[in-house]
Structure 1
Amino acid sequence: MDTGLNKTVPRGYKLTFLAILLFISWQCSTVSGFKWRTDLTYVYLKNDIAENITLHAHCKSADDDLGPKIISYGQNIEWWFIINFFETTLFWCNLWYLADSEGGVVSGSGDIFRVKQLKGCDDSHCYRAARKDGVHAYTFGPQQEDYILFGWMS
């Protein structure tokens, strides 16, 4: 008597099931559930150097070039993105400003956002400020953080 219970499942289905099972187990995290990120991350870059100082910024990632931007004192630029599947998202900025009326240029460049270093981010909002001593990352939360990402070169 054949009950159909002993029939074999085709190999393709077994491999597909195994691949799905491996993917789900790889994506699961014991801390936060699924690792796959679908929410937007926001970066805000503020000119906090001094009045009458205009900040020039050119930020980009491996996939996105935000183009040159001009940021007046007290103003900011912002952009948003989804962190990539491999969690290697990185944005880098080249920044400069004229320090005086004679054209002395102050510049600096470095990582403005790196997914493996989320200091200066409140949830998915990352705050950056260009100041006299360099570019800072900071938070507004109850345990306010403020640290320098990179300094200026004269």
Structure 2
Amino acid sequence: MNYLLVFLIVCGQCMIGNVSGLTNDIHIWNDLDPKHKHTTLFVHCKSGSQDQGPKYIPWGKVHHFGVEQNWRRSKLYWCTLRHGPNYRLGNKFDVYKYQDGVPNGHTYDWIAREDGVYFRRENGPIRKVHNWRPM
């Protein structure tokens, strides 16, 4: 009986995960001005339990990874983005945090441009959300 109960719980969790689309795609785009000398974007993303490690993204490329929401709905990912001479301009911010009313399975686009960082969710409107600052 105990094995049946465990089996049903595991199957139920798998079905809920497949139906609700629990993986969120995080895209960090390097859209810095290609006419400038320093066009490589430094990206370092982390959560409380995972570290993506530092990445250097060339102009026009994207760094992407998936985030699966945990059952407590407490998953948080943050990233540090830097660019410019010696990577002195940057910002650190949350790229994914669970929000009530926002379904899982979405794409989160973060776009690094010369004047700051822009955000778009699921092909919605792009809006500027962060300025660069000395780091």
TM over 0.5: yes
The answer to whether 1:134 aligns with 2:116 is: yes
Does the Cα contact within 8 Å between 1:45 and 1:130 map onto a contact in 2?
A: yes
Q: 1:149 to 1:115 in 2, by over 3 A?
A: farther
Paired AA for residue 24 in structure 2? T
Higher relative contact order (CA 8 A, sep 6+): 2
Contact 1:111 1:149 in 2 (8 A): no
Q: Whose radius of gyration is greater, 1 or 2?
A: 1
Aligned pairs (5 A) from 1:21-32: none
User: As a proportion of its length, which structure holds more helix?
Assistant: 2
What is the match of residue 131 of structure 2?
Answer: 151
Task: Tell me which amino acid in the other structure corresponds to 1:44.
Answer: H
Give the Cα separation in 1 of the matches to 2:120 and 2:21: 24
Match of 2:59 among 33, 49, 73: 73
Change (3 A) 1:104 1:37: closer
Structure 2 stretches lacking a partner, 5+ long: 1-8, 10-15
- What is the match of residue 29 of structure 1? none
Select which of 99, 103, 107 maps to 2:90: 107
Q: What RMSD, in angstroms, separates the aligned Cα atoms of the two structures?
A: 3.2
Identity %: 23
Rate the CA distance shift 1:137–1:122 in 2: closer, same or farther, 3 A: farther
Question: Paired residue for 2:12?
Answer: none
> CA, structure 1 residues 86+104, in 2 after alignment: closer, same or farther (shift >3 Å)?
closer
Give me the whole-angstrom Cα distance separating, in 2, the residues matched to 1:117 and 1:152.
29
CA distance in 1, matches of 2:106, 2:87: 36
Greater CA deviation, 35-44 or 83-92? 35-44
Shift of 1:55: 0.3
Partner deviation per Cα, 1:113-132 (whole Å, 9 max, x = no partner): 2222898x995211111112
Q: Work out which of the residue numbers 11, 32, 45 in structure 2 matches 1:59.
A: 45
Match of 2:30 among 39, 47, 63: 47
Superposition pairs of residues 78-89 of structure 1, within 5 angstroms: 78-89=64-75
AA matched with 1:148: K
* Moved beyond 3 Å, runs of 4+: 34-38
What is the CA-CA distance between 1:93 and the residue it aligns to? 0.8
Unaligned runs of 5+ in 1: 1-19, 21-33
Count of paired positions: 118
